[in-house]
Structure 1
Amino acid sequence: MTQTPTRADFDQYMVPNYAPQQVIPVRGKGSRLWDQAGREYIDFAGGIAVNSLGHCHPVLVEALTAQADKLWHLSNVYTNEPALKLARSLVERTFADKVYLCSSGGEANEAALKLARRWAHDQHGEHKHRIVSFAQSFHGRTFFTVSVGGQPKYAQGFGPVPGGIVHGEFNDLDSVRELIDDDTCAVMVEPLQGEGGILPAEPAFLQGLRELCDQHDVLLIFDEVQTGVGRSGSLYAYMEYGVTPDILTSAKSLGGGFPVGAMLTTDRIAPALGIGTHGSTYGGNALASAVALAAVEFIDTPDVLEGVKRRHDLFREHLEAINRQHGVFKEIRGMGLLIGAEMSDDYQGRAKDILPLAIEEGLMALIAGPDVLRMAPSLVIPEADIVEGMARLERAVARLVADS
């Protein structure tokens, strides 16, 4: 096919579960993108916290192209060197003893939930199967993970949801005390709620969850799909809090744009997923593993991680300046380079209205629900791109205000 695809082709050929912007990016370099017409954009969206090193970072390109000339895929009838290297690297850098590789965050969370139930079944019996999650949480789009997630809209219309799932209130330890008991097998939590509005957990809340889980022999699962691999300013956000989970899930920034996911756990728990209990055709794919290893090794350095925290301060400084001028934000919050600006009362529900205006000004951003403007750029975005991107955002916000 030689014809150039258009945005209208999406409406004609694609299932309508997305509503993408009208522009079609065709090339990226660093934190900048260019569309079909050659227009340039600064990328504050980062592929929804995926493009951890921006677009076409030479370290990732080199890892991908080198592996592409060797081996792509084997299936899990065999293992491969890149997968083993990635697993070892993750174990050596975290609390974990064992790693399960897959292709996405939803798959990683599905595996974590199945592992928790299987472990509790084997250790305590069928009664210990209840899962505690939190209102406004998000854990993926499989039927199991969307049911554990605390946003019912994502499960509506698909039939009866799996049983044994209850939801507490995020940052409210008393709500968990009322739900957790000897029939509970796991508590699943995001250290920072992403899709729920960029809400960081309070340290005492996560510490309290750890203590409650220990009291009831319940597994604590940290969903770090969005917060992991440098996004918080540490390799994983649990390190920022000093609270260690039993199971941790990772994806998004892990592959820097290449589809990959991982579930990390300990020697105490891992044996519950014995041979044949779970699997993934593409899990541990050699290409994905090679790219993820390069990303982890590049990101887990003082230069990158300290730079994330420095860039956070710069984002916050500029967002506060925009707010002083226009009064559109109620609160600016987040960790590292996962930042949310909650709309003020006069602009409730209008975060999405900023996105097309920002596109017209040459900036790509995100939302996290109707009331939060979200930014999740490259962890190594040049500071000059932050300054210029914020100037473009200010112009978009000024237009929003003028049109109100």
Structure 2
Amino acid sequence: MTDQTHSPDLTSWVKSANGHADFPIQNLPLGIFSVGTEGPRAGTAIGDKVLDLWAVAELGLLPRADVVPLEDPTLNAFFALPKETRVAFRARLSELLSDEQYRDQVEPLLHDAADCTLHLPARIGDYTDFYVGIHHAMNIGKQFRPDNPLLPNYKYVPIGYHGRASSVRVSGESVVRPLGQRKAPDEDVPTRGPSRRLDYELELGVWIGPGNDLGHPIDIADAGDHVAGFGLLNDWSARDLQGWEYQPLGPFLAKNFHSTVSPWVVTAEAMDPFRKRQAPRPEGDPAPLDYLHDADDQARGSLALELDTFLLTAKMREAGDAPHRLSKSAAEHMYWTVAQIVTHHASNGCDLRPGDLLGTGTISGSDEESLGSLMEISQGGKTPITLPNGETRSFLEDGDEIILKATARADGAVPIGFGECRAVVMPARA
């Protein structure tokens, strides 16, 4: 499934790309950027530069079929293209940035990344959050149901809920502490006020490609063709609001106030070298139902992707301290594959559309160093963590900044990164 664009021997005439931790030429992620007073448009990250794709298209250097989508200040139209068209686009883009014969034409269309403003990659019509991190599900379940942490449906059906697309924001935009009803176990009645238990969630974002028509499910063998790319997602959670409101219907105000996504979309094609076998289910677990099982998906449906979470407090920022690593997890801890959640979402005939966003749910590992939320790290607030500067945290305080990062690694492949997904917590607004 790999091609010349993934070759470890491939280099770019954009010197900063060679050996770049996130954006070597083997990556070529897509995003929406602007510079100065010029309007948002499509670009690709290459080293410490951003290439203006519409300007490249105007020179006639990209296939004609790809030019019209690049006029849109979102990636929705590009996501809608068939997979084979996206593959050809990637191959041409790789050629333009590696072959010296194009340098004189293309180099003037590069911008310093530091001078660029990055925007939300797509108009998100719908956002759905899943719950595929089994270790997270177990850890949270133990806090409420010690004897039966997983509900009986978890290993049969990919659990998810419909989130709020309107409040998804790009990395760098601050998150305002939400107000809401909360009721502690020792309180007789609820009160309304700022969340006291604000938390982050380390997730992988999945951007939908062409999608399906209403009433026409997606076969799991074809599900990969409907994934345009990946990013990082922090689905902020107000745990105290959630504990009071989630029964009987599930997440509402505790989850819909803000979700942060990384600006660069690492394409599905860029991730081809980093696909790996899905971890076998533990002995005694039920096999997926037929519509969720595909031999090829089981053979290469997982991702060799490292996921890191860092915390930078206001006090650390003022002192010039480096962010503190809270955890190091990995996408291999997902109980359900990306193809399975796409297939299940459309299995009842629900139509998925280009630019829709799916969240995997919190991805935690099996040990204390790989937990994807403070709810788990502090055991619901019972065991606060102590930071290197002496500060303690059970949940997030105003001025705290959460930074998510991801790196794909595999033998024989050049590592590629996702860039950052970060946001600072601001005080609640009355």
How does the TM-score come out when normalised to structure 1?
0.22
Higher helix share: 1
TM-score by length of 2: 0.21
Going by fraction, where is strand more abundant, 1 or 2?
2
